[in-house]
Amino acid sequence: MPTNDEIRARLEAATPGPLRLAIMDPEKSYTEVFEGFLSKGSGNVWGVLVPDHPNTIDGWSDRPAHGVVTCWTGNGPTSEANALLYLNAPEDLTRLLAENEQQAQRIAELETLVDEQTRAKNLARNVISLRTKLRHEIEDALGVGCIDDPEEQFRAALERIEILKEHAEPSLRGTP
């Protein structure tokens, strides 16, 4: 799989964009149009082909039979780089899409963790709130919340505990 640096290098070496789609007029001679493009550059003519494509019957001398050219990039200074960019685009895009899908999956996992942590924090707040309410209810039930002296509160709480034990189920009294 190509690395980000390899993909970036291909993009930087190619003709700067934005690119646009060009459609040849079927009324014009393709040979004449092609020769017009080639007259503006020099050297090798670069293109991208798909070998063993089933829609082509005859091969040319520079490509195998059943190959089809998917694009001609010309013979200008960036034509080779453009051809390499287009040639590698499927693999580059496949890797980038796979990476994007992995990142989207990781984001979804992180969002789930954040939701779980938020629920846990809310539960913790609820537990603290319930504990406080329970403590106040116990103090009110035992009648110790209105006593200011701590020692007196403790004695009153012990008395209430003994009363509760007397009226509790045997299994709660600590005896079999």
Q: Count of domains in the chain? A: 2
Q: What does the pLDDT read at residue 27?
A: 80
Q: What does the pLDDT read at residue 175?
A: 55
Residues 85 and 150 in one domain: no
- pLDDT one digit per residue (tens) for the chain, 176 residues: 788 899 989 888 887 767 676 666 778 777 777 777 777 777 777 878 776 666 655 555 555 555 667 788 877 888 889 889 888 988 999 999 999 999 999 999 999 999 999 999 999 988 888 888 887 777 777 665 566 777 877 887 788 788 777 776 666 555 55
Q: Is residue 161 part of a domain?
A: yes
Q: What does the pLDDT read at residue 103?
A: 95
Please state, in angstroms and as integers, the Cα–Cα distance from residue 30 to each residue in 24, 42, 128, following that order.
8, 19, 80
Domain closes at, from 82, 99, 116: 99
The parent domain of residue 162 ranges over 143-176
Which one-letter DSSP state was computed for residue 28?
A: S
CA distance 2 to 124: 47
Q: Is residue 167 part of a domain?
A: yes
- Phi first, then psi, for residue 73 (nearest 5°) are -105, 0
Q: What does the pLDDT read at residue 96?
A: 92
Residues 150 and 74 in one domain: no
Q: Is residue 131 part of a domain?
A: no
Q: Is residue 125 part of a domain?
A: no
Q: What does the pLDDT read at residue 155?
A: 81
Q: What does the pLDDT read at residue 1?
A: 79
Q: What does the pLDDT read at residue 13?
A: 86
Q: Is residue 73 part of a domain?
A: yes
Considering Cα of 101, then 105, then 110, then 111, what sign does the dihedral take? positive
Residues 163 and 91 in one domain: no
CA distance 72 to 40: 14
